[in-house]
């Protein structure tokens, strides 16, 4: 643990941010899983709705630097491809 007062405060702030970021990462993973579950069940309507929500969550996470921009784009592309595969 740091001895300097400002560094003690910074350590507390870092911990709070870590927990907040962890919550957002969990939300991203959950939204991706919802889409994949709907695709697996071949439910086109639910998959499309879940994909739209996942896209929104991924964009917010990328904007907040929770996940990398390329990761968000890659996941959105893969999810859209999966949803489109069941609509045929």
Q: For the chain, list the domains and their CATH numbers.
A: 5-87 (1.20.58.110)
Q: pTM for this structure?
A: 0.84
Closest CA to 62 of 50, 51, 75, 52: 75
pLDDT in tens, 5-36: 999 999 999 999 999 999 999 999 999 999 99
pLDDT value of position 1: 72
Q: How confident is the model at residue 2 (pLDDT cuts 50, 70, 90)?
A: confident
Mean pLDDT of the chain: 94
Question: Among all chains, which residue has been given the structure tokens 């499309």?
Answer: 48
- Residue 51 and residue 59 in contact, taking contact as beta carbons nearer than 8 Å: no
Report the C-alpha gap between 83 and 79 in whole angstroms: 6
């Amino acid at each position: 643990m740091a001895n300097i007062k400002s560094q003690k405060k910074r350590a507390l702030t870092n911990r709070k941010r870590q927990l907040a970021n962890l919550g957002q990462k969990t939300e991203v993973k959950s939204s991706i899983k919802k889409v994949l579950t709907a695709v697996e069940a071949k439910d086109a309507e639910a998959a499309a709705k879940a994909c739209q929500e996942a896209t929104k969550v991924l964009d917010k996470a990328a904007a907040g630097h929770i996940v990398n921009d390329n990761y968000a784009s890659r996941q959105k592309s893969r999810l859209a491809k999966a949803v489109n595969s069941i609509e045929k």
